[in-house]
Chains A and B, each alone.
Chain A
Amino acid sequence: MSIMTDAALQAAPTTKARGYWSTVARRITRDKVSMACAFILVLIFASALLAPWLHLADPYQGSMIRRLRHIGAPGYPLGTDELGRDMLARLIYGGRLSLIVGILPVILAFVIGTSLGLVAGYVGGKLNTAIMRTVDVFYAFPSVLLAIAISGALGAGIVNSIVSLTIVFVPQITRVAESVTTGVRNMDFVEAARASGAGPFTIMRVHMLGNVLGPIFVYATGLISVSMILAAGLSFLGLGTKPPEPEWGLMLNTLRTAIYVNPWVAALPGAMIFAVSICFNLLSDGMRSAMDIRN
């Protein structure tokens, strides 16, 4: 017995086991689809962030004589919109608001939902019932309806869109977090931590958070795709940002009148929403299979 242990100890440094997260990272960097999506997303994010330094046309400057130029018109690589503003500039600048309104609600819901789910799952009992039954109420609404109901009641605006989308996603993340936490709570190492005198806060933060964060994170990444579509959808209905601000959903709305004149320019903002949405979806799928080490 002791000989075997000694042998194992000696062998250990040479066959150094890779940690869980470095294995996951290695697996995901080898996945071509995930890497391509990450590259496209980095490109879109970077151009939105660096827009003022890219020597683009003024996204607010219109002109009545240059309205609805076609894609590839000289000086306007992606044409102009219904007020003669440069589409390329507006699409790149539009990423700023669209990405913020699409992603911020998921980040907020991730923080709030994880905390609620962790507490509900760890403490259990009456607190669990209270939190989870409240969550059930929000599940009684289709998410699009809930987002539009809250946004419609609060009125148009970016902050209101972010608030309503956060309210839509918190219950979903709470449910995932609660079920993962309940699974981890009864494991031996949590019991051991409790036996050695760790308080509930320490156990949640040190011993449980790291074990539940992975699955919740993957779920939240998948939600970004839905959130992008819904956020732009709210603007498309006129419940998000106001003109002349460039934002993909709003651009799609104002360009609807142009589909008989210059249809493909009118469709461009939607293509941006689609690109971001599908990249996040594929990335989430890639992460899920990278974290599923058994296969």
Chain B
Amino acid sequence: MFAYTARRIVYVIPIVLSVALVCFLLVHITPGDPLVAVLPADASQELAAQLRTAYGFDRPLPVQFGLWLWRALHGDLGSSIATGRPVLSEVMRAVGNTVMLAVAAAMIGFTLGLLFGLIAGYFRDTWVDKVATSVAIAGVSLPHYWLGMVLVIIFSVQLNWLPAVGAGPGGSGAWAWDWEHLRYLVLPAITTSVIPMGIVTRTVRALTGDILSQDFVEALRAKGLRETEVFRHVVKNAAPTALAVMGLQLGYMLGGSILIETVFSWPGSGLLLNSAIFQRDLPLLQGTILVLALFFVLLNLLVDIAQAAIDPRIKRS
């Protein structure tokens, strides 16, 4: 297990470096001058040149990348052009809210997905299966930002039960674990949970179907095992793949939260990314994407290791 973990970690290093390279290059595929956001329209040539030197844009690209990477390794992702504050602290503060949203959505989506998937897989081609499969396919086909809007229309505009936007009463940034604050989490979390629910349902349904049609299940039943015992074997066999899919989905929720956070003005990393894009705040854009991508890589690594821990066959291959 240790050898496998070490090997996996070594494999991740080139990925991390290439991710950093892609994030670095993002700023350089932008059309126009990266300084356009800070530079006043009537800035003199000297001021522009001065700022270019200050930000290091006058150096050759490989040198810039080296310097940027070196600073990034020390936790310095530069400072936001719009606010002047360090990018890393801005991102980290926002990421907390995104993690909270993703975890809440995962609890809803994974629970329902596992439930629907197991039921549908067990009762294949019955009406229960048809209902669960339809719910799942609707879940993966929904434009989730639109679902968010529809939920706001129903529960905020028409019924006036839940708040439409924000993460706390009065737009305050401080979070507290009480009903007043949790009310704000309900709609975004449900909206986020729909896609993972659909994907987990579909995966678990297919897995359960495959496992139930294998010979060993026949053997277990022939041996006289109770159906609850057989079920335990099915779950154990489905667990590694289901776990991998859920890990990936959690990563997608963390990294792909921008649309939902925009709909609900949820103050997470997605909303930060949104403002970085529209204020042309390139260091913030770069930093946010780098942090989110690294989270995703780390999560994939943890899932791989966890998968190998519960399924010894993976280590051997």
Known: A152-B285, A267-B149. A145 touches B26 (CB 8 A): no
How does the 8 Å CB contact mask read for A234-268 relative to B, with 1 for contact and 0 for none? Answer: 00111100000000000010001001100110110
Whether the pair B157, A259 counts as a contact (CB closer than 8 A) is yes
Whether the pair B145, A263 counts as a contact (CB closer than 8 A) is no
Write out the residue numbers on chain B whose beta carbons fall within 8 Å of the beta carbon of A252: 145-146, 149
Whether the pair A137, B289 counts as a contact (CB closer than 8 A) is no
Q: How far is the CB of A203 from chain B (nearest CB, A)?
A: 29
Q: How far is the CB of A97 from chain B (nearest CB, A)?
A: 16
CA distance A238 to B276 in the complex (A): 13
Asked whether any CB of chain B lies closer than 8 Å to the CB of A136, the reply is yes
Known: A154-B29, A263-B157, A277-B143. A144 touches B256 (CB 8 A): yes
Whether the pair A278, B141 counts as a contact (CB closer than 8 A) is yes
Select B252's contact among A144, A150, A237, beta carbons within 8 Å. A144
Segment with Cβ contacts to A, from B53-61, B67-75, B178-186, B292-300: B292-300
* Complex: chain A residue closest to B258, CB-CB: A148
Asked whether any CB of chain B lies closer than 8 Å to the CB of A68, the reply is no
Most buried by B among A140, A266, A270: A140
Whether the pair A144, B137 counts as a contact (CB closer than 8 A) is no
Whether the pair B259, A236 counts as a contact (CB closer than 8 A) is yes
Write out the residue numbers on chain B whose beta carbons fall within 8 Å of the beta carbon of A260: 157
Whether the pair B18, A145 counts as a contact (CB closer than 8 A) is no
Known: A152-B273, A154-B31, A252-B149. A225 touches B255 (CB 8 A): no
Whether the pair A281, B140 counts as a contact (CB closer than 8 A) is yes
* Complex: chain B residue closest to A267, CB-CB: B150
How does the 8 Å CB contact mask read for A213-237 relative to B, with 1 for contact and 0 for none? Answer: 0000000000001001100110011
Known: A233-B143, A236-B145. A152 touches B277 (CB 8 A): yes
Q: How far is the CB of A31 from chain B (nearest CB, A)?
A: 14
Q: How far is the CB of B153 from chain A (nearest CB, A)?
A: 4
Q: How far is the CB of A228 from chain B (nearest CB, A)?
A: 8
Select A140's contact among B19, B27, B263, beta carbons within 8 Å. B19
Select B143's contact among A141, A256, A274, beta carbons within 8 Å. A274
Asked whether any CB of chain B lies closer than 8 Å to the CB of A143, the reply is yes
A-B contact count (CB 8 A): 130
Q: Is the interface of B mostly helix, strand, loop or mixed?
A: helix
Write out the residue numbers on chain B whose beta carbons fall within 8 Å of the beta carbon of A119: none
How does the 8 Å CB contact mask read for B152-180 relative to A, with 1 for contact and 0 for none? Answer: 11000110000000000000000000000
Whether the pair B30, A153 counts as a contact (CB closer than 8 A) is yes
Asked whether any CB of chain B lies closer than 8 Å to the CB of A91, the reply is no
Write out the residue numbers on chain B whose beta carbons fall within 8 Å of the beta carbon of A155: 30-31
Write out the residue numbers on chain A whose beta carbons fall within 8 Å of the beta carbon of B296: 140-142, 145
Write out the residue numbers on chain A whose beta carbons fall within 8 Å of the beta carbon of B29: 150, 153-154
Write out the residue numbers on chain A whose beta carbons fall within 8 Å of the beta carbon of B158: 263
Q: Can you pick out 25 interface pairs between chain A and chain B where the beta carbons lie within 8 Å of each other? A: A136-B15, A140-B18, A140-B19, A141-B19, A142-B293, A144-B252, A145-B256, A145-B292, A145-B293, A145-B296, A148-B277, A152-B273, A152-B277, A154-B29, A225-B141, A228-B143, A229-B142, A233-B259, A237-B259, A237-B277, A238-B278, A259-B153, A264-B153, A266-B149, A282-B137
Q: Given A141-B19, A256-B263, output 20 extra A-B contacts at Cβ < 8 Å.
A: A136-B15, A137-B15, A140-B19, A141-B293, A142-B251, A142-B255, A144-B252, A145-B296, A150-B26, A152-B273, A153-B27, A154-B29, A155-B31, A225-B141, A229-B144, A252-B149, A270-B143, A271-B146, A277-B141, A278-B137
Which 10 pairs from chain A and chain B are nearest by CB? A270-B146, A144-B256, A142-B255, A278-B141, A152-B277, A263-B153, A145-B255, A137-B18, A277-B141, A153-B26
The chain B residues found within 8 Å of chain A, CB to CB, are 14-15, 18-19, 22-23, 26-27, 29-31, 137-138, 140-147, 149-150, 152-153, 157-158, 251-252, 254-256, 258-259, 262-263, 273-274, 276-278, 285, 289, 292-293, 296-297, 300
